[in-house]
A and B are shown apart, each in its own frame.
Chain A
Amino acid sequence: MDALKQELKERIINALNLEDISIDDIQDNDPLFGDGLGLDSIDALELIVLLDKEYGIKLADPKQGKEIFQSVETMAQFVAANRTK
């Protein structure tokens, strides 16, 4: 699970062009949206693509994203349970 979380942090930084942020800056339970990383609606959509591209998970309903992307922790749980790649 730890390796997956590290991997997710790295992929989030790359996919969302978070240039001045490093893996160490993102805590597992930090909120991804809201103040923390300053992610917006396009970032949320981009994370949906990331789930599909890297882990083969297609969300049935994009609104599920709100819960899944709360933190790296919740993302990792979801990916571990649903990945097909």
Chain B
Amino acid sequence: MAVFIHDTNIISPLGFSTYDNFQNILSGKSAIEKVFINDKIGSVYAGKINDELFNNHFQSINPDFKGSRIEKLLIAALSPIVEKNPLKNGSVLILSTTKGNIAALANNDLNAAFIDQLVQNINSYFGFKTEPIVVSNACTSGVVAISLAKRFIEMEQFTNAYVVAVDELTPFVVSGFQSFQAMSNEPCKPYDADRTGVNLGEAAVAVFVSNENRTESIQILGDANINDANHISGPSRTGEGLFLSIEKALNEAQIASNQIDYISAHGTATLFNDEMEAVAFNRLNLQNVPTNSLKGYFGHTLGASGLLETVITIESLKNNVLIPSFGYQQQGTTQQINIITNKESKVLKTALKTASGFGGSNSSMILVKNVDHVRN
């Protein structure tokens, strides 16, 4: 059974639609700027959604809704998708998030911090008839969520799936990454020789997944989620889990490395992550494939990143354009990979999306354009 991603939507500092986000990226705009977090942390380079602009935008969606900020972000992301694709009885909501409404803990509201609370509110807001699925798998969550949608549709458990992802920029997360000494004091530089760590970000994303074969849809040809079994916060030096997940995804898609036109990688700009990815890509003979990280545009949006970057990857495919890896100037990994430095128009058919995360998880997904690539 062939499963496809159809409509998509993004709520991010770069805009409140997929179109606006992609246009901004095409113009070389980044969301990263100095953002004030709180008195203790001060300001850090990060991607933050402008609340005034967003609240204005939300008025056009539902002026009467009174809920948390994270609920509004999810509703704003999903509303246009549901409008275009009305729910069926067998539709399911799949949510990807690492921390959900963790901001509630700062107000001593433990109940509001339960992720299930959040997803049930969104589930009933839109009127889903099935129990939702929540995946919380660190930074691979977004890709895992699409993987689950595809698998559950293949199993015929659901008619179709509305996959959403969200994480907010919070003192909770910023303070944690700072204690890891993982944050950069400047805009991040994935894969670059002078990279000094991550910038964090926030976004809400939604996509519609089903086995309908529409024109303009992107097929999910193969996917895999494999653990490094090495360390809970550091990636495997041999890129074992990432290597295995890409290999398995390629096998399922029945394609070879040389058929990949573009890699949308994880690229967090930490010394270890980027190095590990270069090792894994070389092991699979993918070192010449045009590759980028999109984190220079948005920051690391954690549970949203896998889905956010997948949507941008899809836009690259549809528009036949390779996007430069923002922040990169010179090779910073021991093994060479082909980082995109200039925007380039090129016919693109097949993309590989990868993600890696704390806990040693690694997810890979092969996305393909064009009806003549449809496998059954």
A45: chain B residues at CB < 8 Å are: 179-181
The answer to whether A40 and B231 have CB atoms under 8 Å apart is yes
- Check B233 for interface membership: any CB of A closer than 8 A: yes
Most chain A CB within 10 A, of B179, B180, B181, B234, is at B181
B236 to chain A, nearest CB (A): 13
Task: Give A55 to B232 CA distance when docked, in angstroms.
Answer: 29
- Check A32 for interface membership: any CB of B closer than 8 A: no
Q: Considering the complex, which residues of chain A in the window 4-50 have a beta carbon less than 8 Å from any beta carbon of chain B?
A: 40-42, 45, 48-49
Closest partner residue, chain B, to A63 (CB atom): B181
Task: Give A49 to B232 CA distance when docked, in angstroms.
Answer: 19
The answer to whether B179 and A49 have CB atoms under 8 Å apart is yes
The answer to whether A42 and B181 have CB atoms under 8 Å apart is no
Q: How many A-B residue pairs have CB under 8 A?
A: 13
Query: Size of chain B's interface in residues, with CB distance under 8 A?
Result: 7
B233: chain A residues at CB < 8 Å are: 41-42
The answer to whether B231 and A62 have CB atoms under 8 Å apart is no
Closest partner residue, chain B, to A46 (CB atom): B179
Closest partner residue, chain A, to B181 (CB atom): A62
B234: chain A residues at CB < 8 Å are: 40-41
Instruction: Beyond A42-B233, A45-B180, A49-B179, list 10 extra A-B contacts (CB 8 Å).
Output: A40-B231, A40-B234, A41-B231, A41-B233, A41-B234, A42-B232, A45-B179, A45-B181, A48-B181, A62-B181
Closest 3 CB pairs of A and B: A62-B181, A41-B234, A42-B233
* A-to-B contact residues, CB < 8 Å: 40-42, 45, 48-49, 62
